[in-house]
Structure 1
Amino acid sequence: MMSNLFSSFDPSTNIFNLSLNWLSLMMGMMIIPMTFWFIPSRFNMIWINIIITLHKEFKTLLGPMNHKGSTLIFISLFTLILFNNFMGLFPYIFTSSSHMSLTLSLALPLWLTFMMFGWINNTKHMFSHLVPQGTPPILMPFMVCIETISNMIRPGTLAVRLAANMIAGHLLLTLLGNTGPMMNSFTITILILIQMLLLILEFAVSIIQSYVFAILSTLYSSEVI
């Protein structure tokens, strides 16, 4: 019996004093057959087409200043988050992307790198971002404060958005699942249908949130070039 609702997201479960929950980060790599990397199956072809589409979109967002291979980090980021979101949908597998320790570890280094690169190499360009074009002179000090604060909370918003969306769906599934033993056969049938619809919704959320994280990271990087 869970002591509280959030214990299903508790990463402290261990075996032989080893925290094995975080193995879900690499668990999928263990079950992929070796032939996947050599023989181009239909699934492989679909994934290659997805990567090509993402490459074209990220290249467009980065603009004319993008360098060869610059989209690779954002495609890898999308793949990592999508993979972890999907792994969390399987029963009894720890959802690593629902924890701030992972999402902030992805967002904060990216944001810090973009800021350091921008302020060192394009200082004037970074200062111009603090005052939007057409701002009245009397409002300029306030706009600088607002833009600075909005810039500083970007890694936090990226991390919280991903973690909160993953937790919300899982909590809803857990809450509805816990009501099952108290229902009769007819209401359990309706509950199972609702759970299946929610699971489909969670699949969509998993894809959307990984895409949003990667797209926003790309947009933040395009502002410092």
Structure 2
Amino acid sequence: MMTNLFSIFDPSTNIFNLSLNWISTFIGLLFIPYSFWIIPNRQFIFWNFILNKLHNEFKMLLGINQFHGSTFIFISLFSFILFNNFLGLFPYIFTSTSHLTISLSISLSLWLSFMFYGWINNSQHMFIHMIPQGTPSILMPFMVLIETISNIIRPGTLAVRLTANMIAGHLLLTLLSSTSNNMSFYMLLILILLQILLLILESAVAIIQTYVISILSTLYSSEVN
């Protein structure tokens, strides 16, 4: 019996007090067969099609001032989060993206790198960005304060958005499955159908949240150029 519903997200598997759950963060590539990298197959062509579409979209968002190869940072971010979101949908696999340890580490490191680069190399542009064009003089101090706060909370909103969406679906699946002990056969069939539909919804959420995080990170980086 669980004393706390959120305990399903706690790392529990360990050897010599070393948590093995976080290994799931790095085993996504093991699910890809070796032939994927050598022989052009359907999976390889499909994944390349997705990455090319993402590359073109990120390139358009970054604009003409982008550095060559900067889109690969966000493509790698997309692939990493997508692998971890999908791995968490499998039974008995730890969902690393449901923890702020992972999501906040990613968003905070990206945001800090953008801020350091922007203030060191484009400080005048960063100051101009704090005051939208056409702002009355009397409102300028308030606009600077508002823009500063909205800029500071960006990594937190990115991390919480990903974490909350991953936690919500898993909690709903757990709550539904915990009610199946005293159900009749027909109600159990309905519950299984609901679980399948919810799992399909969670797969869509995993893709959408990955895309949202990647797009927002790209937009944040385009503002410092």
| TM-score, normalised by the number of residues in structure 2 | 0.97
User: Cα distance, 1:10 vs. partner?
Assistant: 0.1
Look up the match of 1:165.
165
Aligned to 1:89: 89
In structure 2, what is the Cα distance between the partners aligned to 1:55 and 1:101? 28
Work out the CA distance in 1 between the residues paired with 2:220 and 2:29: 30
- Residue 17 (structure 2) aligns with: 17
Q: Is 1:44 equivalent to 2:44 in the alignment?
A: yes
Q: How do residues 3-82 of structure 1 correspond to structure 2 at under 5 angstroms?
A: 3-82=3-82
Write the mapping of 1:62-141 to structure 2, written as runs, cut at 5 A. Answer: 62-141=62-141
Amino acid at match of 1:47: W
**What is the rounded CA distance, in whole Å, between the counterparts of 1:30 and 1:3 in structure 2?**
34
In structure 1, what residue type is equivalent to 2:91? Answer: P
Query: Per the alignment, in what secondary structure is the counterpart of residue 69 of structure 2?
Result: coil
By how many angstroms is 1:135 displaced?
A: 1.3
Q: Which residue of 2 aligns with 1:185?
A: 185
> TM-score by structure 1 length?
0.97
Distance in 1 (CA, whole Å) between partners of 2:114 and 2:130 is 15
Task: Quote the Cα distance in structure 2 between the aligned partners of 1:75 and 1:85.
Answer: 15
List alignment gaps of at least 5 residues for structure 2.
none
Aligned length: 225
List per-residue Cα deviations over 1:8-66 (Å, max 9, x = no partner).
10024313322000011122322322222101110110000000000000000000111
Q: In the aligned structure 2, how far is the partner of 1:32 from the partner of 1:53?
A: 21
Percentage of pairs with the same residue: 68
RMSD, aligned CA: 1.0
